[in-house]
Amino acid sequence: MAMPTPQDIKRASVNLETAQIAWRELQAFFASGATVAVSPELDLVEVAFQVSEDNAAQVAQWMSSGQLARVTDAQAKAWYEADAEVWAVVARPYVLVQPERKR
């Protein structure tokens, strides 16, 4: 069995820090402009890892495709009114959020 790489360990750490949380609990972060929405087709842990690694090229690609963007006022209002739960993880200086996937 191969030894885990430092990147494997960091990804595992990010995974452990990911949690479901009520959007309402994140209002202070939204108000400060720190919340970033991650498209449901992306892996939240991988996005957080790439942000934490300062992989500017990958982050820019996701942003240009619309898969990664600051939470808009309209989205924040919709999540607030729906009392939505989101998946969230801190990737300083941001809080990355992803809506729960419908099953």
pLDDT per residue as tens digits for the range 22-33: 999 999 999 999
Q: Is the pTM of this model over 0.75?
A: yes
**Residue 67 falls inside a structural domain:** yes
**Residue 12 falls inside a structural domain:** no
Task: Indicate the average pLDDT of the chain.
Answer: 95
**Residue 6 falls inside a structural domain:** no
CB 89 within 8 A of CB 27: no
Give the model confidence (pLDDT) of 66-84 as tens digits.
999 999 999 999 999 999 9
**Residue 10 falls inside a structural domain:** no
Range of the domain at 45: 18-99
**Residue 4 falls inside a structural domain:** no
Give the model confidence (pLDDT) of 18-65 as tens digits.
999 999 999 999 999 999 999 999 999 999 999 999 999 999 999 999
> Residue 102's pLDDT is what?
59
> Token pair of 54, please?
């300062």
| Number of domains present in the structure of the chain | 1
% of the chain surpassing 90 pLDDT: 94
CB neighbour burial string for 80-92, b if at least 16 within 10 angstroms, e if fewer = eeeebbbbbbbbe
